Amino acid sequence: MRTHAQAVVIGGGVIGCSILYHLTKLGWTDVVLIERDELTSGSTWHAAANIHGLHDSTNISRIQHYTMGLYKELEQETGQGCGVFQPGSLYLAQTEAREHQLRLQAAKAKLYGMNFHEVDRAEAERLHPLVDYDGIRCIMWEPDGGNVDPSGVTQAYATGARQNGAEIMRFNPVIATEAQPDGTWIVETEKGDIRTPWVINAAGLWGREVAALAGIELPLQPTEHQYFVTETIPEIDAMDRRLPSVADRDGEYYLRQEGQGLLVGAYEKDMRFWAEGGTPLDFAHDLFDDDLERIEDNMMRAIERVPVVGTAGIKRVINGPMIWSPDSNVLLGPVPEKKGYFCCNGIIPGFSQSGGMGLMVAQWIIEGEMQYDMFPWDMARFGAWATQGAAGKTFTKERVRDQYANRFKIHFPNEERSAGRAVRTRPVHDLQLEMGAVMGLNYGWEHPLWYADTPGASDTDGFTRQNWWDPVGAECKMLRERAGIIDISNFSKYRCKGPDAETWLNAVFANVMPKAVGRSCLTPLIGVRGGIAGDFTVTRLAEDEFWIIGSGMAERYHARFFNAVPCPEGTVFESLTDSVCGFNVAGPDSRTLLQRLTNASLKTEDFPFMRSQRIELAGVDVLALRVSFTGDLGWELHCAEADQLRLYTALLDAGKAFDAGPVGGRALMSLRVEKGYGSWGREYSPEYWPQEVGLDRLCKMNKEFLNKAAVADVLKNEMRERMVLLHLDGAMTDASNADATGGEPIFKDGQGVGRVTSGAYGYSVGMSLALGYVKGVENGDMVDVMVLGLPHKARVLAEPPFDPKGQKLRA
């Protein structure tokens, strides 16, 4: 057994073996996998192992597409069979919403060269004659869909890794993982210790327990999950081909051929948690007692759709454990607080994602960053709020319950699920609810999305315009015509103070930090591959003190970048997000409204755009910044959390004279899209180069900063695509009663040219708008945006429709 390795993978399921294999494919051969039992122990061996390519997330679709194509290559490379069956998959839509989802996925498949398209009923009946297609609105066909053999795939990854020099140690439990002063780790096992710079936790059902060895708490919870396999069905036995699988997600079951029978699985409403106190260490190739009564409703829907299910006997039942994160996505990435510790835990569709997941992990560890923006998978999307205290533990458990019971529920644009909330609230929370606020969730914080006429309202969900569309329009109109008050407390806020604060910030950010006290600047944070890892507003408060504002949901993600540049002794960089709250007051009357509450002059000559001052507002000490994400005249006002309610009440009272009031996050989305402003996680991500998003002018190449060499390389290149603002034809959007929301493909003359990143109706300009990336398209050109998966005419705008010269912003 080796005593040193470049990386140690803990866990010998399909994901751990894929990670090991991909590490070797990218050049690391001195790597080790440690498994406490036999390979595939845990949840791998009993998986249904279905494979499919399409997902609501474009990048997850790319990863699944890669995985599906990898298995046959893996067979040829290793000589180990993967049991690949790809008879295709039929996707059925019983509802209008499911039809919208499938048509949008088909449009994405066309854009990215994936094989997924609509077929008529006659063709569907030829492909799968045992299905009753009555009541089906739309049928999509994925020719490459199917299933694999769980053990075969895992062994193929293991064989390939061994062939490339990796070592696999079975029946060797990990006892401890100890961080060393030099940044490496000692992995203690029953058979000896290994020193390594990288520990990779891919321990599946034991992911929580392995993480706890390093003092890490992960938001994970196992559940039971059942499927059954029927006896031989004569109609199938008589066929000379394998039947495609059936994805009838409105029926809440999955179904495919297994042998000469059918495999049927379900995610039932009456779900069961397992191992809430910890996964037993002696659990391996074990199953639970059958409990088919729990999935009876799902079975009946499967029988209604495929009647032969009801005539066949049941050959065997599999009731085994799965382990879930709160949103059913993997927890992937380096732990920001633990150098050299990488997590890959909580995987549900493991055999659709195993190859791509292993590749992403290997890229991140060896190259420093993945090729795709995978923030929906990043473990940093959850903080301690999701694991600690009663609220955190309830959040994880109830979110897992919701995810399991609604596994096949459509994730609609702008959807906000209520399970497990509220976790974190601010002092104004109750008042906002009394005012009719409908709340959303942002990194654990409750924040107002929009304001209903009466308290207690909630969102409706769908791909079309929903119940909040008109109220949000009223909020936008109020702000644009008078003034509005937006709670921005969920923005991340940091303070850097000390004699070397300026030097350190210049070493982190691409722009030059403000020289004069009271001045602000915008600055990108550059990723390892030269893309946009973040965008921040930095304000100089004093000679030795700076204030930094960024994306709230990305605070833990950005910690990795801040930690990459050691802060000089005597200089402190700290997060103030929890202890400081804020409001944006914007609109043409905002100056007059605020002037009533302060003796400080807010005139342009005394308080110009991109400046800051510490002022007293309604008796509250406030840091006031002359910036506004609305694109309108406005100020950001930051105060201590203890003063938030007092300040908010004063702002609301002063606003009454102007018929001004609260504005939510949905309106802010509309207002910033009218102005063409990008947002982190949508327009700004590590995938996009500075020149593609218009931020290259903020990368000051005459100084050193984090990942400067990478951005210098990409700035030499021509843009692959560019960010644009699109105006969708009003008649078309009115006819479909929908706006773009993000992810919709863009075509020109039938050829894919880009995709939407954000979309909203611009109420103050009377336009349905979308931000996105395109290639080979000029300003003024007409394109087709696939709203609801159908072509909607749109024009590429040369400038934003609201205040294109920025005169209102600087007034």
CB atoms within 10 A of CB 353: 25
- Checking DSSP bridges between strand 437-442 and strand 261-266, what pairing results, if any? unpaired
pLDDT lower than 50: segments of the chain? none
Question: What gap in Å lies between CA 621 and CA 625, rounded to an integer?
Answer: 13
Query: pLDDT tens-digit profile of 372-427?
Result: 999 999 999 999 999 999 999 999 999 999 999 999 999 999 999 999 999 999 99
Question: What gap in Å lies between CA 349 and CA 568, rounded to an integer?
Answer: 44
pLDDT at 479: 98
Query: pLDDT tens-digit profile of 501-558?
Result: 999 999 999 999 999 999 999 999 999 999 999 999 999 999 999 999 999 999 999 9
Question: Cα-flanking dihedrals φ and ψ of residue 753, to 5°?
Answer: -125, -5
Question: What gap in Å lies between CA 302 and CA 266, rounded to an integer?
Answer: 9
Query: Is 563 in a helix, a strand, or coil?
Result: helix
Question: What gap in Å lies between CA 664 and CA 122, rounded to an integer?
Answer: 48
| Chain position carrying tokens 């040193």 | 4
pLDDT at 137: 98
Question: Cα-flanking dihedrals φ and ψ of residue 494, to 5°?
Answer: -135, 155
CB atoms within 10 A of CB 134: 8
Question: What gap in Å lies between CA 475 and CA 662, rounded to an integer?
Answer: 8
Question: What gap in Å lies between CA 43 and CA 13, rounded to an integer?
Answer: 8
Q: Which two tokens stand for residue 465?
A: 């315009």
pLDDT at 105: 96
H/E run at residue 350: helix 350-367
pLDDT at 366: 98
pLDDT at 612: 97
Look at residues 471, 473, 466, 463 and name the one whose alpha carbon lies nearest to residue 740.
Answer: 463
Q: Which two tokens stand for residue 170?
A: 């079975």
pTM, 2 dp: 0.96
pLDDT at 735: 75
Q: Are 22 and 351 in contact (CB under 8 A)?
A: no
Query: What residue type is 341 in one-letter code?
Result: Y
Query: What residue type is 46 in one-letter code?
Result: H
Contacts of 563 (CB under 8 A, 6+ apart): 336, 339
Q: Note the Cα 433 to chain centre separation in Å.
A: 27
